[in-house]
Amino acid sequence: MTSADPSLPIRTQVRDAVAAAWRRAVARGALPDTPDGPVPAVEIERPAKAEHGDLASNLALKLARPLRRAPLDIARIIADEIAADAADRTPGAPIAGVDVAAPGFLNLRLSDQVLEATIARVLADPDGWGRVPPVNPRAVNVEFVSANPTGPLTIGNARGAFIGDLLSRVLEAGGQTVTREYYFNDRGGQIPNLGASVVAIRRGEPIPDDGYHGDYVVSLAADLPEDVWSEATAAGAEANQIVGQWAGMRVRAGIEASLEQLGVHFDVWTTEASLHEAGWVDRAVERLRAGGHVYEQDGALWFRSTAFGDDKDRVIIRSNGEPTYFAADIGYVTEKFSRGFDHLIYIWGADHHGTVARVRNAAEAMGYDREAVQMLLYAWVRFVRDGAEISMSKRAGEFVTLDELLEEVGVDAARWFFASRAATTEIDFDIELAKKQSAENPVYYVQYAHARIASILRKATDASLAPADAVEGSLSAGPEAALARAIVRFPEVVEDAATSEETHGVTAYATELATQFHAFYRDARVVDEAEPERSRARLALVAAARTTLANALGLLGISAPESM
RNA sequence: GCGCCCGUAGCUCAGUGGAUAGAGCGUCAGGUUGCGGACCUGAAGGUCGUGGGUUCGAGUCCCGCCGGGCGCGCCA
């Protein structure tokens, strides 16, 4: 007797049912209790082959060693319990049938009831479809992009921007509260450096070799307001700083506009200067000092990072009295935690991996849980045009901007590209190839399926056929079977994405769902005025497919068009 | 030199210790009296970089080697 909660993902219902069967087998003495040691978790997976059922469990294989019995024997005993449950026709029981296969797999078939109940849920609450019960509700701060305001965002910033946004969406889908945050390094020497380049152009002098050389610097010089310029010239040595401040603000506005183009919205913008002004950096340094985690040497103040496993100690106050960038990082950690976050995530390029340990070490030294400070490092993207690598240098003015990339490739295709690849894999992005193949891009395949369904539903309205509220009796066989099974899997995909903090499972799933829809479309006529009841049932299934496609694309920030 | 990441089909990439390693693109051969052909069906294509080890079972875990990327500042 198994009572399943229909609001849980089907895989979870099945897992509970298999676990219950195992417990019953133990209770009636058919299986011995597990001896001391780790108890195998009940794992439910989707078999690669359709003849292995809808879902499968390797539980018997896992139990073989601790129970010291043959996996096939264990599988048969558990299968008998599951089969008895199914034979009772317990209302809502998710499993309709079970087979045992060598070397000890339990192959499970879903019941019509669970399929019907799930499709009915999709139709009753389309917006809620795919939301999973929160596993680990937390308030999370996700900091990403955080490029210096010394030039426009380039394609080099693209991956971090998309990964940060996609990760945020996936965390939200998993029930967490996410704040998207951007950190501007507006202190240091790069702002005056940018100012120096603008000043040089304005004076008709050559730009310094280590200055910034892009066309955008020329534009900045041309747009420099007269009052800023006269203030700068009057200030003498401070001219670079004053012009740099203005240029930085100007560049920042452009960065914010580019990010809006990407569909990436930040909740909080923080500047390094504001952290210093509000005293966060000083207080953090004092906190480390009070804890005995710093020492002076060569006139500088060092954080004893080696005490937490780093390979060297790190300077936080230079011998000239200036705090380092790392000191601001430490202050920022305390400032973020003061806002009530349980968890801080940093999205960094792989070139920053050397700084991971020191920031987490400093957090631990200040009394925070280092596990609450997490860095997600993404691998570098090799941008290629016609097979030749595009080398980029913001200072030398050699780069392709993010805006140009979007103009060439399109935001949906670009989002799909990054969503379908794990963050840690090094990838090639051939811009010409992306353009050439844009018509063949899988994202359009998925969007086309959505548009096709929208067209069918319009057709149905014209024929005065409305989708049924539920689909009954036709899901175990025929063209409906594969499509229904693809639809109901969506919450599991969301759950896996939230758990793994990766999105490529979602793109793979969306592609497969689109494939199942296209196959259904081939085999089943949906709008047929001669068969109104069957039409209404098929319209309901197709509407559920459309909702699922739209929600999967929505999870990735990709549009679901009514027509293309 | 040390540390981290990566190596899977022609190309771009999935693969959470399980069954005959998958998808898209590309290539080849087919498909439309019908709701959108941006679609569908099929085929070819793999020593999972390499050599050991652990395991009932390894693309997956451990060790060595080869190849590629990145890092090793009182820069940011």
Q: Taking a C-beta distance cutoff of 8 angstroms, is the pair A265, A168 a contact?
A: no
Q: Is A564 exposed, middle or buried (0-12, 13-18, 19+ CB in 10 A)?
A: exposed
Mean pLDDT of A247-267: 94
Dist. CA A188–CA A190, nearest whole Å: 6
Q: Which of A345, A325, A346 is nearest to A273 (CA)?
A: A325
The nt closest to A40 (CA vs C1′) is: B17
Domains of chain A: 10-110 (3.30.1360.70), 190-249 (no CATH), 279-378 (3.40.50.620), 441-555 (1.10.730.10)
Residue A304: pLDDT over 60:
yes
**C-alpha count within 13 angstroms, C-beta hemisphere, residue A544:** 30
H or E segment at A181? strand A177-184
Q: How far is the CA of A290 from the C1' of B15 (A)?
A: 49
Instruction: Write out the E strands in A294-380.
Output: 294-297, 300-303, 314-317, 343-349, 373-378
Is pLDDT larger for residue A391 or for residue A191? A191
Name the band, by pLDDT with cuts 50, 70 and 90, for residue A355.
very high
Which nucleotides of chain B are near protein (any atom < 7 Å from a CB)? 2-7, 11-16, 18-26, 34-41, 56, 68-76
Rg (CA), chain A: 29
Q: In angstroms, how far is B49 C1' from A425 CA? A: 16
- Distance of C1' in B35 from CA in A521, Å: 9
What torsion, rounded to 10 degrees, do the Cα atoms A381, A384, A390, A391 define?
A: 40
CA A412 to C1' B40 (Å) is 25
- Please count the CA atoms within 13 angstroms of the CA of A163 that sit on its side-chain side: 27
| Nucleotide with smallest C1' distance to residue A325 CA | B76
Per-residue pLDDT band for A439 (boundaries 50, 70, 90) equals low
Helix (H, G, I), strand (E, B) or coil at A12: helix
| Residues recorded for chain A | 564
Of the pLDDT bands very low, low, confident and very high (cuts 50, 70, 90), residue A93 is confident
> For residue range A186-239, what is the model confidence (pLDDT) as tens digits?
887 889 999 999 999 999 999 988 888 888 999 999 999 999 999 999 988 889
> Residue A174: CB partners within 8 Å, gap ≥ 6?
A132, A134, A135, A136, A494, A495, A497, A498, A499
- Tell me if residue A505 falls in helix, strand or coil: helix
Nucleotide nearest A189, from its CA to each C1': B76
- For residue A206 the two structure tokens come to 């050559």
Q: Report helix, strand and coil shares of chain A as percent, to nearest 5.
A: 55, 15, 30
Q: Is A422's CB less than 7 Å from nucleic acid strand B?
A: yes
pLDDT of residue A205: 92
Side-chain-side CA neighbours of residue A150 (13 Å): 25
3 state DSSP class of A520 = helix
pLDDT for residue A1: 43
Q: Nearest residue to B68, CA vs C1'? A: A426
Strand B within 7 A of A325 CB: yes
Beta-strand pair A55-57/A427-430? unpaired
The confidence score (pLDDT) of residue A57 equals 93
With 60 as the cut, is the pLDDT of residue A437 above it? no
Where do the H-state alpha helices sit in A125-225?
A: 158-173, 190-203, 215-223
